[in-house]
Structure 1
């Protein structure tokens, strides 16, 4: 399967998020597009390992093999599955530490399922699984270092917090709960059992601060992108607008049970692409 075909068959359970990535990256020049689909493919592989139902020791070993392969890539000995990455690493200055951070983030779900992490651990998780991806991506987009890191910090966290809020029920069904412990206790929820928490009437009180935090990160990301030429930030802006729209749909729906799934319809997705990619 080609990298672009892989992007269209995203298995994260959300056609909106899969389409947002594909649409945003398709507008890039060829070399940038190729590098972004390589980054995407890497993330899919390690995420699939973390989310599989295989034995935990086997999943840990598989993630360690990806670490070893990244090390080999940066030592000039890329394994077959990373052979095409060498040119992108050189061309865009992709950092080894960011690839490894992504593996570390995926691994946080493997020794045991994440359940009600404290706020510091949640922020570390968001940095590894989302902002580290952003740090690789902004190098491909060509942003200056300081603003690129700042954009990755804010947009990565905004997207990941939106994912967490969107996927509450899906995550609970596989035994995971990314809502912070401090928020649960503040709402009077003492259980950390995922299914108990998502059924609790106080759940909206837990979600409200995360919504506010995600909105702040979206606003900070917009400030960074506003300092740059439109063409330079088209792809991250499309991702931002897709996910901000999903967040607002979640707010409009509410977080009390029962919760219908939230997705951005095809016309809304097309309107975002047209506005921020071409108009």
Structure 2
């Protein structure tokens, strides 16, 4: 991370994450760019998830990020967007993808997301996950023909997996990301978030989302298997770590009480080494 543009508190968050360990396999320029992108995502995500402050304040902070991103691309003072300035210049990252991430975070601020219809959920995941993927594949040096589909599928696979892993944590702050159609199919009455997520039939709804995640993982694996141009270790690593988490959750099920599965950092590093040796 560039200490000149990365606040110390953010450096600590990034360096302590499993993402940091995973991205260490990249060459320095690409690694630093990915840390900058991740840092940006962490900052705007922290704004969206800060339940201790009112939505108006949080929305204003996201609007400031929009302003700073626009300023960066206009050649003006980028303010806090200086965090990603070097990455934007080196890898020609698209402004629209940064703005999409902010728009996704704004969806969480406008109102706590509860049982959206699937189209809205898919839009949300495109903004908060696949848009990050679109930034990332440029850093990885992939062509648009292979990189954009990979960002689409792997981004959604990872985000759906996170939603399934974080059902209880999200319900505690008033959010339920499971699609309304899935809950209706399960016969669940839409009461409070805790009532919905404590209903044993939530397992039925969760398995529908898990099936979508699995399809996206399969599509991402198919792209990576073709060995397209680019630094593929990072996306292969994310798929190799998160697909088994989805499989373990499917075996465990989503009936309450649930046990949240975590990314094992040591296993992640060993997987990274294996992928590096056998690339």
Name the CA shift for 1:148/1:3 in 2 (closer, same or farther; >3 Å). Answer: farther
CA contact (8 A) 2:142 2:228 kept: no
The equivalent residue for 2:31 is: 33
The equivalent residue for 2:21 is: 23
Could you tell me how far apart the structure 2 residues matched to 1:8 and 1:73 are?
25
Residues 27-50 of structure 1, C-alpha deviation per residue, up to 9 Å, x if partnerless? 111111111111001000100000
CA contact (8 A) 1:50 1:110 kept: yes
Name the CA shift for 1:230/1:266 in 2 (closer, same or farther; >3 Å). Answer: farther
The equivalent residue for 2:81 is: 82
Q: Find the residue that maps to 1:251 and give its secondary structure.
A: helix
Could you tell me how far apart the structure 1 residues matched to 2:230 and 2:101 are?
27
Name the CA shift for 1:231/1:149 in 2 (closer, same or farther; >3 Å). Answer: closer
CA contact (8 A) 1:116 1:177 kept: yes
The equivalent residue for 1:277 is: 276
Name the CA shift for 1:84/1:260 in 2 (closer, same or farther; >3 Å). Answer: closer
CA contact (8 A) 1:101 1:132 kept: yes
- 1:270 shift after superposition: 3.4
Structure 1 unaligned runs (5+)? 10-17
Q: Find the residue that maps to 1:108 and give its secondary structure.
A: helix
CA contact (8 A) 1:3 1:38 kept: no
The equivalent residue for 1:131 is: 130
The equivalent residue for 2:50 is: 52
Could you tell me how far apart the structure 2 residues matched to 1:267 and 1:35 are?
24
Could you tell me how far apart the structure 2 residues matched to 1:230 and 1:89 are?
20
Name the CA shift for 1:38/1:266 in 2 (closer, same or farther; >3 Å). Answer: closer
Could you tell me how far apart the structure 2 residues matched to 1:202 and 1:85 are?
43
Structure 2 unaligned runs (5+)? 1-7
Could you tell me how far apart the structure 2 residues matched to 1:67 and 1:219 are?
34
Name the CA shift for 1:4/1:31 in 2 (closer, same or farther; >3 Å). Answer: farther
Mapping of residues 232-271 of structure 1, within 5 Å = 232-271=231-270
Name the CA shift for 1:142/1:2 in 2 (closer, same or farther; >3 Å). Answer: farther
- 1:267 shift after superposition: 4.6
TM-score with structure 1 length normalisation? Answer: 0.92
The equivalent residue for 1:12 is: none
CA contact (8 A) 2:22 2:272 kept: yes
In structure 2, which of residues 21, 25, 40 is the aligned counterpart of residue 42 of structure 1? Answer: 40
- 1:228 shift after superposition: 2.0
RMSD: 1.6
Mapping of residues 55-134 of structure 1, within 5 Å = 55-134=54-133
The equivalent residue for 1:176 is: 175
CA contact (8 A) 1:50 1:59 kept: yes
Could you tell me how far apart the structure 1 residues matched to 2:116 and 2:12 are?
35
TM-score with structure 2 length normalisation? Answer: 0.92
Could you tell me how far apart the structure 1 residues matched to 2:76 and 2:180 are?
43
Q: How many residues are aligned here?
A: 270
- 1:8 shift after superposition: 2.7
